[in-house]
Homo-oligomer: A and B are copies of this chain.
């Protein structure tokens, strides 16, 4: 029976996803994928998972398997206080909400705040998963320009002056897709702008722990705690399959997130929260994080070196101090998408950057490259293949470092 006439208005608009279509080929056998945004399985603390499970079962018994508070499992919320403190987030267990991944928090925030047609200000380019969480609530987007240091504060100022903006969404550290990090000065400017405009900002921070070089930058929330909903996740420092997101929000927003989340999934898995509580409070994370960095750091370096060797001179790319992605940009006028298909023929996948923009026609010459899922030799080979495709298209020879 055909039930398509029953679909809600919002559903028709969610429609076919162009990126989902083009990425279908990524799972073909033999494909080397720089397209994903997935932590390496070898970064998971598999050697202690059994021990953590045993500990949780012994310590909490059936409580770890029972229905629990929508706000989150209290021992996990407690364990997050010092963890967040180390990230520059001063808060209490009561102020912390647990979500089913950051995705769950993004969904709940949009459900609480966004009416049809409301404006969300986003970086250009921005994180696709956030757009996917927001889409069912039918917002419109106002794009804010970025440069090598992320969001340009003056652009935020202009956007807030010219629009009634419901919500600002940023990934300030090792951004997805660009890898860029907002310097502390810009963070302070942005904090001042949102305070003065009484604006509300989502600071989405999944990657800041993945720092391979340089100094940590304080979160925007540390400069404007009342105007920021801060999100982070255990997906990149523990295990993404456990679906554990963390949200610190101003009290009158937080209250509604709880009401909304109760309707969505009652609460996030108690057992998984208990595992994470032990992982944090037992100090396991302190031992695991250096291992994770020791896997990703050399992969990033391998990619940066290979880009210098193989990519055309006319390309530039980000050189982030951490995270999971690099962002490469070719000469204006170059359309990367046909070259995506050429790369696929040569068994290398990436994501054409245009898909991270809310407006069509932008970012045509850009590409996102992930380096967490492949070892150094594979990355070197894959960038070689991509360099060949790009040089072929431009009629040039490999770049600067060659």
Contacts and interface: CB of A to CB of B under 8 A. Distances in A.
B65 A57 contact: no
A242 B44 CA distance: 21
A240 interface: yes
B38 A62 contact: no
Interface in A366-386: none
Interface in A41-67: 41-42, 44, 46, 49-50, 53-54, 57, 61-67
A226 interface: yes
A339 to B, nearest CB: 27
Given A65-B242, A241-B65, A266-B101, A136 B111 contact: yes
Interface residues of A, number: 77
Contacts of A65: 41, 44, 46, 49, 239-242
A260 B6 contact: no
Given A65-B44, A66-B241, A113 B265 contact: no
Chain A contact residues: helix, strand, loop or mixed: helix
Contact of A271 (B11, B129, B259, B272): B272
Nearest to A1: B226
Contacts of A263: 103, 107, 129, 132-133, 135-136
22 contacts: A1-B250, A3-B250, A6-B113, A6-B167, A8-B112, A50-B54, A50-B57, A65-B241, A66-B239, A66-B240, A67-B235, A103-B265, A103-B266, A107-B263, A129-B263, A133-B263, A133-B264, A136-B263, A241-B271, A242-B271, A243-B268, A272-B272
